[in-house]
Chains A and B, each alone.
Chain A
Amino acid sequence: MSELVSVLSANQLIVAFAIIGVIIWGSYWLSDVLTGGRIHGSAVAIVFGLILAWYGGAKTGGTKGIADVELLAGIGVMGGAMLRDFAIVATAFGVDWHEIKRAGLSGSVSVIAGVVISFVVGAVVAVAFGYRDPVAVTTIGAGAVTYIVGPVTGAALGAGSDVIALSVAAGLAKSILVMTSTPAVAGLIGLNNPQSAMVFGGLMGTTSGVTAGLAATDPKLVPYGAMTATFYTGVGCLLVPSVLFLVVRAMLL
């Protein structure tokens, strides 16, 4: 037994490949048997991943989901930013350049609109819950943009750590909801072509949410959504602690 444990812990990334392979196999099987393929196998796999992540977090008290379980740490490497970005860029291989150009304007508009819309919604919710301090309201609104913009803004404005934690949680809730709900609402919002995928990426902005949501909807749309989503956090870090903070302060003071 101890030999097995030492082999597994010395080959964590390889173990992760095997485990994710089994999860995906089981998810496609469930998707076929239970839903006749109506709920896509990758959507089932992503939900399964999130459940594992919840279990790992609840069990270990860590922040990296199931990757905090020692023998499964390889899942953290496999699903970490480095390999994720590498694979996202690879999806651009064979992308139609004309589609990108066609959606250039609406894609750019969507990034700025997306940051402002999510921020306003988050800030309004913060005010509705009784927050009146402009720094706290701005930081929580920033969290509704993405879970990176939240702490960056909070640090820049000097928000308390409890407010920063709230902003991260709001961003996580957003990202997870985008991952799981996108396939269900795709038909309603016309998310079935490269242009709307670029607008979707720009409006939602959470790279993990957008790319997982599109993967579960139609993998061909992933590169288009990812393209705009990767600009979102940068634009958020630019607009929120500056212009949007000044607007909030003017309105609350």
Chain B
Amino acid sequence: MIIYGVALLSACLVAGLYIGEVLGKAIGVQANVGGVGIAMLLLILACNLPRFRSLTSGTSAGGITFWSAMYIPIVVAMAARQNVAGALDGGVLALVAGVAAVIVSFAFIPLISRIGNAPVAPATAEEPAADE
């Protein structure tokens, strides 16, 4: 049943957002800390547990893959509801600050990507077959 997949997805999101909210409260910030990321981890976990197999395979999986495929249309709608006029009205200072932050952050991506690769190299060597 498709609804089983949708329900699992919903449960993961609500649980993740709740944990993120509690986490935010615990460290004293007015924001949800990683709620969506935690929800993603819960979904990945559910996909790997035999107990949940009936919810993540067959037609039930369709309830999850549908929303995954709706992702780009939703992002287009999200773009269409951004406060673009507000960003442009912010003036030169706001634009320079935003643009400079992006350029400098881009430059750091290759550097920081390298950090992880050295220490975990042995782990990848253990299962070369998986890479092929």
Contacts and interface: CB of A to CB of B under 8 A. Distances in A.
Contacts, number: 354
A79 B79 contact: yes
Contacts of A76: 81
A226 B97 contact: no
Contact of A190 (B9, B32, B72, B113): B113
Which 3 pairs across A and B sit closest by C-beta, in order of nearness? A169-B90, A173-B98, A57-B85
B100 A102 contact: no
A240 to B, nearest CB: 10
B85 A238 contact: no
Contact of B82 (A110, A202, A208): A208
Interface string A73-113: 00110111001111111111111011011111111011001
A138 interface: no
B116 A63 contact: no
Given A54-B85, A231-B33, A67 B80 contact: yes
Nearest to A57: B85
A63 to B, nearest CB: 5
A58 interface: yes
Nearest to A66: B80
B95 A173 contact: yes
B83 A45 contact: no
A68 B105 CA distance: 32
A215 B20 CA distance: 24
Interface residues of A, number: 120
Contact of B76 (A46, A199, A229): A46
Interface string A180-221: 010001000111000110011011100110011001000100
B97 to A, nearest CB: 4
A24 B77 contact: no
Contacts of A94: 47
B78 interface: yes
B80 to A, nearest CB: 4
A52 interface: yes
Interface of A: 16-17, 20-21, 23-24, 42, 45-50, 52-54, 56-58, 63-67, 75-76, 78-80, 83-95, 97-98, 100-107, 109-110, 113-114, 117-118, 121-122, 124-126, 129, 140-141, 143-145, 148-149, 152, 156, 165-179, 181, 185, 189-191, 195-196, 199-200, 202-204, 207-208, 211-212, 215, 219, 222-223, 226-231, 233-238
Contacts of B100: 121-122, 124-125, 144
A155 B115 CA distance: 36
A65 B82 contact: yes
A183 to B, nearest CB: 12
13 contacts: A49-B77, A53-B82, A56-B80, A57-B83, A58-B85, A84-B75, A85-B36, A86-B67, A93-B64, A100-B44, A170-B97, A176-B82, A203-B108
B74 A195 contact: no
A151 B72 CA distance: 28
Interface in B37-96: 37, 39-41, 43-44, 47-48, 56, 61, 64-68, 70-96
A22 B61 CA distance: 27
Contacts of B123: 98, 101-102
A189 B110 contact: yes
